[in-house]
């Protein structure tokens, strides 16, 4: 169900099971801000637990009747400190990534007739800075291969968690 998938993707204890950047490393939640009536709706600030790196992850999880969104972006810790001290946050470049989870309901044909079917659609979206040039001709082929591998591995890990 969309709720089960969104709870899995937003659970900091399970993030190391699907997030290629944190794979195998525990993540701690530095802060959680509720954003709605549903217990799943919140904004979290996450960081690698055992060996904190220079990035923190801002993540928003939102659930509504039509499905769920889990959107996150790594941000350098020094920028977070600067914003806390009054820096204009509108100038911060953010490359957000995330997931949209929607329920699937309908009828499917079976060998014995028509049966109802349910499940979920998971849409994955990642943003990467592959090069600083505006020309796509300047993108390194290795960067494209790395991004392709990153996306495929993430999808495989999530599918494995749900035995798909």
pLDDT of residue 39: 76
What is the domain count for the chain? 1
Q: What pLDDT, in 10s, does the model give residues 8-43?
A: 998 888 988 998 877 778 888 888 999 988 777 999
Does the structure show a pLDDT above 60 at 78?
Answer: yes
Q: What pLDDT, in 10s, does the model give residues 86-141?
A: 888 888 888 889 999 998 765 455 555 555 556 788 899 888 776 666 666 667 77
Structural domain of 8: 2-161
pLDDT of residue 114: 56
Which own/partner pairs from 119-126 qualify as long-range (CB within 8 Å, at least 24 positions apart)? 120/1, 120/2, 120/5, 122/5, 122/158, 123/99, 124/99, 124/151, 124/154, 124/155, 125/97, 125/98, 125/99, 125/100, 126/97, 126/150, 126/151, 126/154
């Amino acid at each position: 169900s969309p709720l089960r998938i969104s709870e899995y993707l937003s659970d900091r204890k399970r993030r190391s099971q699907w997030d290629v950047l944190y794979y195998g490393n525990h993540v701690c939640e530095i802060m959680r801000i509720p954003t709605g009536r549903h217990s799943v709706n919140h904004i979290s600030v996450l960081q690698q637990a055992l060996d904190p790196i220079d990035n923190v992850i801002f993540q928003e999880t939102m659930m509504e009747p039509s499905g769920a969104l889990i959107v996150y972006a790594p941000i350098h810790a020094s920028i977070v400190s600067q914003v806390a001290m009054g820096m204009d946050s509108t100038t911060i470049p953010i490359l957000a990534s995330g997931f949209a989870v929607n329920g699937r309901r309908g009828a499917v044909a079976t060998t014995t007739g028509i049966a109802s079917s349910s499940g979920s659609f998971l849409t994955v979206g990642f943003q990467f800075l592959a090069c600083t040039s505006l020309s796509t001709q300047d993108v390194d082929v290795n960067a494209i291969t790395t991004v392709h591998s990153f996306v495929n591995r993430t999808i495989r890990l999530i599918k494995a968690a749900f035995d798909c």
